[in-house]
Amino acid sequence: MKKRIKLKKPAKIIFSLFMVIFILFILVFGTYFFLENRLDKIGYSHRAAYNIITKFKIGYVEDYPNNKTLNAAFESDLYQEKNLEHYSKINYQKHDNLIRNINLLLKKGYSDREISMILAHGNDSDVYQFSKRERVKYLEEFFVYDFAKLSHYDRYIAYMNANGDDEETTIIKVNLDLDKEDYMDSKQVNDYSKLVLANNHYYLGEKYVPKSLTNVPDQYMKGKDNQAKGVNEAVSAAITMMKAAQKDGLNLLINSGYRSYRDQEEVYQTYLELYGEDYVNKYVSKPGYSEHQTGYAFDFASGVSNVFANSEEYQWMIKNSYKYGFIYRFLKSKEEITGVKHEAWHFRYVGKEVAKKIDTEELSLEEYYAKYLDVN
């Protein structure tokens, strides 16, 4: 008996020790997985959960369910305990180095609200560049506008000082590169949609040829040997519109539509020889920059009067064209933004929805683009 007990004792101790360790192991991991699961349910990743649990921040995090910035902070190696309160209040952006940038901006003395604003107006690298500069003076003034860009801050300040426009106008103009010379560092356009922007700063290039070009039927053309083309959708809309004008007793016609790069080159050259450089700079787009190359623009005409601006058809177009998806493209009041002198005859197809918005808000296509399409 004694022998048996003697033999069993060390084994028993080892077994008990093993059991204790095993139970502890189960308890620790059980608790860990239980907590991780609880964090998962309130929107925290496994990676973040590890740090939250080991830093004993579960209680804190539970007050901020589904807080993406907080999640990113706990996922990051750059997490700083002293910034915890800020992480929970700063609006999240999907940036690779979000926490590094937030830490840097906090160091510069920006408030949580200001940091949220900064993050919303640029990408990861814009924010990083911005965080390295001295604290800026006019943050709120520009960045209350959704379409303001962090990377343009200095250009906004310079343009505003030089021109005295208000903040909103300044942002729109600088975003459209109007602080640069015409045709200088133009943006290459790769957009074939009906909202494509082409002007003295947005370059279509030699190879840009719209798809589905169709002829405008002869009966809608001004002049017998005139033939215009346009993108199918725009041509159909123009026909519907001209039929509606007809019903109102008018004779609305088309003078010209699509012009290829080569066509525009010819037009440009002809006008240059006839009227000189000053004239073409004001009135004729350089090849590759003309809206006519998009296939969405038409010059309209009256079958009654030779001066469209004096015709009833023109008055009708001002009132009704938006209903058919067309906008009055080169208004007198928008010359500074469009960079083109007023043209009574030139209308651009953008579709009904956008045409209505542009008409209601009294915008140019450039302003529409800057405010609604070209947002970070």
- The set of catalytic residues is 343
Q: How far is the CB of 228 from Zn ion (least distance, A)?
A: 11
Nearer to Zn ion, 33 or 283 (CB): 283
Q: Write b or e for each residue in 288-316: b if 16 or more Cβ atoms lie within 10 A of its Cβ, otherwise e.
A: bbbbbbbbbbbbbbbeeeeebeebbbbeb
CB contact at 8 A, 321 and 327:
yes
Distance CA 196, CA 190 (A): 8
Q: How far is the CB of 223 from Zn ion (least distance, A)?
A: 15
Span from 66-74, 79-87, 268-276, 292-300 in contact with Zn ion (CB under 5 A): 292-300
Span from 11-19, 127-135, 212-220, 291-299 in contact with Zn ion (CB under 5 A): 291-299
Nearer to Zn ion, 189 or 344 (CB): 344
The alpha carbons of the chain give a radius of gyration, in whole angstroms, of 32
CB contact at 8 A, 269 and 242:
no
Distance CA 232, CA 222 (A): 19
Per CB under 5 A, 299 contacts Zn ion:
yes
Q: How far is the CB of 299 from Zn ion (least distance, A)?
A: 4
Nearer to Zn ion, 152 or 346 (CB): 346
Nearer to Zn ion, 170 or 260 (CB): 260
Residue 324: closest CA among 255, 252, 218: 252
Nearer to Zn ion, 36 or 299 (CB): 299
Give, as ranges, the residues between 318 and 347 that touch Zn ion (CB under 5 A): 346
Per CB under 5 A, 194 contacts Zn ion:
no
Nearer to Zn ion, 251 or 255 (CB): 255
Span from 83-91, 195-203, 214-222, 299-307 in contact with Zn ion (CB under 5 A): 299-307
Coil vs helix vs strand at 298? strand
Q: Is 205 exposed, middle or buried (0-12, 13-18, 19+ CB in 10 A)?
A: middle
Nearer to Zn ion, 112 or 299 (CB): 299
Encoded tokens for 107? 């160091």
Q: How far is the CB of 267 from Zn ion (least distance, A)?
A: 10
Distance CA 282, CA 189 (A): 22
Q: What share of the chain is helix, strand, coil (3-state, %, to 5)?
A: 55, 10, 35
Per CB under 5 A, 294 contacts Zn ion:
no
How far is CA 326 from its chain centroid? Answer: 22
The residue whose Cβ lies closest to Zn ion is 346
Distance CA 124, CA 100 (A): 10
Residues in binding contact with Zn ion, number by CB under 5 A: 2
Q: How far is the CB of 306 from Zn ion (least distance, A)?
A: 16
At position 8, the amino acid (one-letter code) is: K
Binding mask 107-146 for Zn ion (x = CB under 5 A): ----------------------------------------
CB contact at 8 A, 174 and 155:
yes
Q: How far is the CB of 340 from Zn ion (least distance, A)?
A: 9
Q: How far is the CB of 308 from Zn ion (least distance, A)?
A: 11
CB contact at 8 A, 67 and 43:
yes
Binding residues for Zn ion (CB under 5 A): 299, 346
